[in-house]
């Protein structure tokens, strides 16, 4: 758990971060989002002491970060940045083993760990001997993540890690990262200015504006508890629709008893997203559709009623 108390950073006359109080939960991805220049990177970099706050206190698991020398602190915190920053004179193997070597790991342990990470990131083992310039943007970014995970830090700081990758590859990286995170359950602080990326990855979204933290909650809560105008505007009018992509049909259908064949409704598998289901309803001008499991057996029906709790939770009496 990371606790920020009145954290402020002043660069000369510019107040980059102003009195941020927040608690970042363990094992979750907290996405720090906001327009460019609002202080996201500055706030992130204060956590691993790349920048020292002008005032305020940051603690990790109750321990003030100032109690640990910066180098030692950083070796325990994974760090991924937008332009990857792979060391061009090192091979992929050497890049990934930077922190383990700083920590004095023995060679066999490092080799084992690098192989493990290449597998985890879906990279061929032969990549170990490549130089960064032989990698594509997406591959380099995967190596960047592997390098940050090398010494198995409980905390990961990521500053627009997929920002420099083309949209198609970015979507793939996000999906993969989501999968890896479900496995590893790291505490992640993830900076982005891309709302869709936030929706795809976040357990919690923290919205910043002009150095202040103006909203901090689960992605759904921004809609349930009508957010202030700035936040709604920043998240976009289609935010609620995009949010539906986070939810699977399996959690949002009305089960039918027995079989309900012959309705003539289109069907979707329970693994489809609610967004897909709504899109289907809209394009076919329907009120309901049928949900089936992988074997094709009918599970129930989906109507817009099934998701009213998602957004109207407070007033809708769930």
Partner 1 sequence: MDREPILRWVKTAFLVAVFILLVFNFHWLEQLAPSLFARRGIMIERIPLPVSAWQHIYLVSISSFLSILCAVFLGTIAFFPFARDFKELFVDLSSLGETFPSVAIIALTVPVLGYGFWPTLLALYIYGILPVLRNTITGIENIDPGVMDAASGMGMNTGEVLLKVALPLALPVIIAGIRTSVIINIGAATIGATVGAGGFGVPIISGIRSYDIALVLRGSIPVALLAVAADSLFSNLEAIFEARR
Q: Which residues bind partner 1 (CB under 8 A)?
A: 48, 50, 70-76, 79, 81-89, 98-99, 102, 147
With beta carbons less than 8 A apart as the criterion, state whether 165 and 135 touch. Answer: no
State the Cα–Cα distance between residues 65 and 71, nearest whole angstrom: 11
231 touches which of partner 1, Mg ion, ligand ADP, none (CB within 5 to 8 A by kind)?
A: none
Query: Which range binds ligand ADP by CB under 6 A, 32-40, 75-83, 175-183, 212-220?
Result: 32-40
Is residue 41 involved in binding ligand ADP (CB under 6 A)? Answer: yes
β-sheet bridge partners, residue 192? 33
Q: Give min distance, CB of 12 to partner 1, in A.
A: 15
Contact stretch for ligand ADP (CB under 6 A) within 18-26, 37-45, 71-79, 271-279: 37-45
How many CB atoms sit inside 10 A of residue 18's CB?
A: 18
Residue 145 interaction partner, one of Mg ion, ligand ADP, partner 1, none, beta carbon < 5-8 Å per kind? none
Nearer to partner 1, 81 or 307 (CB): 81
95 touches ligand ADP (CB under 6 A): no
Q: Is 36 exposed, middle or buried (0-12, 13-18, 19+ CB in 10 A)?
A: exposed
> Considering the rule CB under 6 A, would residue 42 count as an interface residue with ligand ADP?
yes
- Residue 141 engages Mg ion in binding (rule: CB under 5 A): no
State the greatest distance between any 2 C-alpha atoms of the chain, in Å, as a whole number. Answer: 71
Q: Whole-angstrom Cα distance, residue 109 to residue 150? A: 11
Residue 82 engages Mg ion in binding (rule: CB under 5 A): no
Classified as helix, coil or strand, 292 is strand
C-beta of residue 128 within 8 angstroms of C-beta of residue 118: yes
Smallest gap from residue 91 Cβ to ligand ADP (A): 31
Could you give phi then psi for residue 227, rounded to 5 degrees? Answer: -70, 155
CB of 156 to partner 1, least distance (A): 12
**Contact, 5 vs 56, CB < 8 A?**
yes
Shortest distance in whole angstroms from residue 90 CB to partner 1 = 9
239 membership: H or E segment, kind and range: helix 239-243
Among ligand ADP, Mg ion, partner 1, none, the one that 99 touches (CB under a kind-dependent 5 to 8 A) is: partner 1
Residues 6+ away with beta carbon under 8 Å from 225: 217, 314
Rule CB under 6 A: say whether 13 interacts with ligand ADP. Answer: no
* Cα distance between residue 288 and residue 128, in whole Å: 51
- Could you give the string, one character per residue 25-64, with x where binding to Mg ion holds by CB under 5 A and - elsewhere? ----------------x-----------------------
């Amino acid at each position: 758990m990371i606790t920020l108390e009145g954290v402020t950073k002043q660069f000369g006359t510019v107040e980059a971060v102003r009195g941020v109080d927040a608690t970042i939960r363990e094992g979750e991805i907290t996405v720090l989002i906001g327009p460019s220049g609002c202080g996201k990177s500055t706030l992130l970099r204060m956590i691993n002491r790349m920048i020292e706050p002008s005032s305020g206190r940051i603690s990790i698991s109750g321990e003030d970060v100032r109690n640990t020398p910066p180098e030692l602190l950083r070796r325990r915190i994974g760090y991924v940045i937008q332009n990857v920053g792979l060391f061009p004179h090192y091979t992929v193997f050497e890049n990934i083993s930077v922190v383990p070597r700083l920590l004095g790991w023995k060679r066999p342990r490092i080799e084992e760990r690098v192989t493990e990470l290449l597998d985890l990131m879906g990279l061929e083992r032969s990549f170990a001997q490549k130089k960064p310039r032989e990698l594509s943007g997406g591959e380099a970014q995967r190596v960047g993540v592997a390098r940050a995970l090398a010494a198995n830090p409980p905390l990961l700081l990521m500053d627009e890690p997929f920002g420099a990758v083309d949209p198609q590859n970015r979507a793939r990286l996000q999906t993969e990262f989501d999968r890896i995170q479900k496995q590893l359950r790291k505490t992640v602080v993830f900076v982005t200015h891309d709302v869709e990326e936030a929706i795809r990855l976040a357990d919690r979204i923290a919205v910043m504006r002009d150095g202040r933290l103006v909203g901090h909650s689960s992605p759904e809560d921004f809609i349930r508890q009508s957010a202030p105008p700035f936040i709604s505007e920043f998240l976009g009018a289609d935010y609620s629709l995009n949010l539906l992509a986070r939810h699977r049909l399996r959690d949002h259908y009305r089960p039918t008893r027995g079989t309900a064949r012959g309705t003539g409704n289109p069907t979707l598998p329970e693994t489809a997203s609610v967004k897909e289901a709504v899109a289907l309803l809209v394009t076919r001008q329907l009120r309901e559709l049928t949900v089936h499991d992988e074997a094709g057996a009918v599970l129930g029906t989906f109507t817009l009623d099934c998701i009213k709790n998602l957004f109207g939770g407070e007033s809708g009496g769930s």
